[in-house]
Structure 1
Amino acid sequence: MDRKSPTVRRRRLGAELRNRRERAGYSLEYVAEQLECSQSKISRIETGHTSVNVRDVRDLLTIYGAGEAEIQELIELAREARQKAWWHPFSQVLSSAYVGLEAEAVRVRTYEQQLVPGLLQTEAYARATMGILPGRSEEEISSRVRVRMQRQSLLDQEDSFHLWVVLDEAAVSRPVGGDEVMSDQLRHLVVAANRPNVTLQLLPFEIGSHAGMDGTFAILDFREPGDRSVVFAENATGGLFIDKRDELERYKNLFEHIHTAALGPEQSAERIQQLVEEPLWRSRQRGFAST
């Protein structure tokens, strides 16, 4: 899988343009006047929320007093940012830019409360989660599952990608898709936990309240120094991307607290293996049947 992500390059280009504007001492209002466009357009370019054409890049850098070599370097980055990625044919069923950021991340640290994260899902489990929401056609579900399975090729790149998951025990205690699907998913987690580039920890019920009870999130780190880490905080409408320094630090500290409270990787794999052999939902069913 090509790990060059147009999403990351668009974000990198925006940061470079913002840095040059700030070094030149120009306001958004001034630059917008020079380019005869709205301030919101400049802002969206700088935050990576919209692509920018070659002409605008050249015009912006000319305003900032950049040399020709620098202009050509960022024009090339702009061209890369406008290329279509492997997931482009599925853009109608993707709800966020997360896949684009994940594609070039070197590390993802994630805390999940209710579901196994996408990179560790079996195809049957993924299909079961996709079918939960009403109104999705079989074609849409199949497309979403296809994207999710293709994303998992990241795990094959052991030297350049690391996944660190802290999984609430609730996520492995509910039979998503039924008994057989969930049992296969648990076995898949045990196998995945043995990968050299996967760290899997379980946050057990017995610890009670903990720092991650407000919701799930993922922290994505990148290789290039100029590509600042980003947090994706998931919610019902998709999610929120956070990259302000103080908020990033808050989430990094939060993850530190969560993974410290969780079982270690070996203990976690043992606990999940126990659930394969004696699923919690089966023991609960027997308990209800005997009352």
Structure 2
Amino acid sequence: MPSPYVRRRQLAAEIRKLRESHGLTTDDLARLVFHSRTKITRLETAQVRPDLVDIMNMLDTLEITGSKYDRLLKLAREAAQKGWWDKYGMSMGPRQKLAADLEYNADTVRCYDQTAMPGALQCPEFIDALVALDESQRTLDYRPSRMAEARAQRQRELLRPDGPHHETILDECVIQRLAVPSQAMAAQLRHMITVISTEERITIRVLLHDARIPGGHLPQSSFCLYTFPEAGDPPIGVVDTIATDLIVTQRGEVARYARMYDRLRAAALTTKDSLDFLNRVANHITDRTGSGL
């Protein structure tokens, strides 16, 4: 199915254009359809799933008919669809919920991970270690058990036969600097090696800490790029910040991130060399832990 989130953004833009073409403010439209200004604003910013009766009432009020009415109602229906992630509510965390929506419906997923392991490729031991980190810095905005269930579901969906092509550029600093127990890190590295070795659609490239990245400035944060199978759905970018995710939809801005991704990819190890590297690091961690160092 089309991504409900992508459709919500498309519907939001259409509602805003309709309102403006009728010379209405958000307050004006809210009064016409007997809603609050806040509800109209949230619809126009894709923050809520649309109610079909509300959308039909709005289209009738604005005297939208014919093929335009049918097109917008179809868009609203697709925007209102629920996916497997909706059964978790917000207990899995807002960032993971957005990632699950976009991953499930994408054709390709390309991520540069500067501070974290790929969310859909994490093993239980590593997830437990991440929960402990969130608890230590008091940023636990999800239910750990439900988050772990959802992350496992994300992995199953990623590996389904019609799942997306998924490539990660993993910055070596994540492996070397993330303060999780050694056993958890070794387990995570071996888990990724197993998944990537058995699924051609899932690839990883390690960006070594001493790799030079010619052609411009260094990336300032992690980001993901998504493309979708339907021709009318433009690519979308999600940029990681400390507090939230920044959604990038303007074609020029998405293209800038795509060029950055290509530069990082060219500087990173090949998938084969990356798996060899991860295996060496996992063995080194295990040997060091076993020696008591």
- Range class of TM-score, shorter chain: 0.7 to 0.9
The match for 1:235 is 241
The match for 2:208 is 204
Cα gap change, 1:66 to 1:116, in 2 (>3 Å): same
User: Is contact 1:158-1:197 (8 Å) kept?
Assistant: no
Cα gap change, 1:102 to 1:129, in 2 (>3 Å): same
Output the CA distance in 2 between the equivalents of 1:64 and 1:255.
43
Give the alignment partner of residue 47 of structure 2, picking from 43, 46, 49. Answer: 49
Give the alignment partner of residue 221 of structure 1, picking from 203, 227, 240. Answer: 227
TM-score by length of 1: 0.81
Cα gap change, 1:142 to 1:26, in 2 (>3 Å): same
Give the alignment partner of residue 154 of structure 1, picking from 131, 150, 157. Answer: 157
The match for 2:108 is 107
Superposed CA deviations along residues 123-150 of structure 1, whole A, max 9, x for unmatched, are: 111121122122578x921111111111
The match for 1:253 is 259
Structure 2 unaligned blocks of 5 or more: none
Aligned-partner residue type, residue 198 of structure 1: I
Output the CA distance in 1 between the equivalents of 2:229 and 2:41.
25
Superposed CA deviations along residues 266-286 of structure 1, whole A, max 9, x for unmatched, are: 111111121122239949x99
Output the CA distance in 2 between the equivalents of 1:260 and 1:19.
41
Output the CA distance in 2 between the equivalents of 1:12 and 1:274.
46
Cα gap change, 1:230 to 1:177, in 2 (>3 Å): same
Cα gap change, 1:256 to 1:272, in 2 (>3 Å): same
Instruction: Compare 142-151 and 55-64 and name the one that shifted more.
Output: 55-64
TM-score by length of 2: 0.80
Instruction: Compare 268-277 and 13-22 and name the one that shifted more.
Output: 13-22
Give the alignment partner of residue 185 of structure 1, picking from 162, 185, 188. Answer: 188
User: Is contact 1:28-1:39 (8 Å) kept?
Assistant: no
User: Is contact 1:111-1:165 (8 Å) kept?
Assistant: yes
Superposed CA deviations along residues 177-215 of structure 1, whole A, max 9, x for unmatched, are: 422222121112222332211121010122257744411
Superposed CA deviations along residues 228-281 of structure 1, whole A, max 9, x for unmatched, are: 222211122132212122221211111111111111111111111211222399
CA shift, 1:164, in A, is 1.0
Is 1:81 the counterpart of 2:79? The answer is yes
Output the CA distance in 1 between the equivalents of 2:33 and 2:23.
12
Cα gap change, 1:150 to 1:186, in 2 (>3 Å): same
Cα gap change, 1:84 to 1:159, in 2 (>3 Å): closer
Aligned-partner residue type, residue 249 of structure 2: D
Cα gap change, 1:26 to 1:280, in 2 (>3 Å): farther
Output the CA distance in 1 between the equivalents of 2:131 and 2:68.
45
Output the CA distance in 2 between the equivalents of 1:196 and 1:18.
42
The number of residue pairs the alignment matches comes to: 282
Instruction: Compare 183-192 and 272-281 and name the one that shifted more.
Output: 272-281
Superposed CA deviations along residues 15-34 of structure 1, whole A, max 9, x for unmatched, are: 44456667xx4445287375
User: Is contact 2:103-2:158 (8 Å) kept?
Assistant: no
The match for 2:126 is 125
CA RMSD of aligned residues (A): 3.4
Percent sequence identity is 27
Output the CA distance in 1 between the equivalents of 2:84 and 2:264.
34
User: Is contact 1:131-1:141 (8 Å) kept?
Assistant: no
User: Is contact 2:104-2:163 (8 Å) kept?
Assistant: no
Cα gap change, 1:170 to 1:39, in 2 (>3 Å): same
Structure 1 unaligned blocks of 5 or more: none
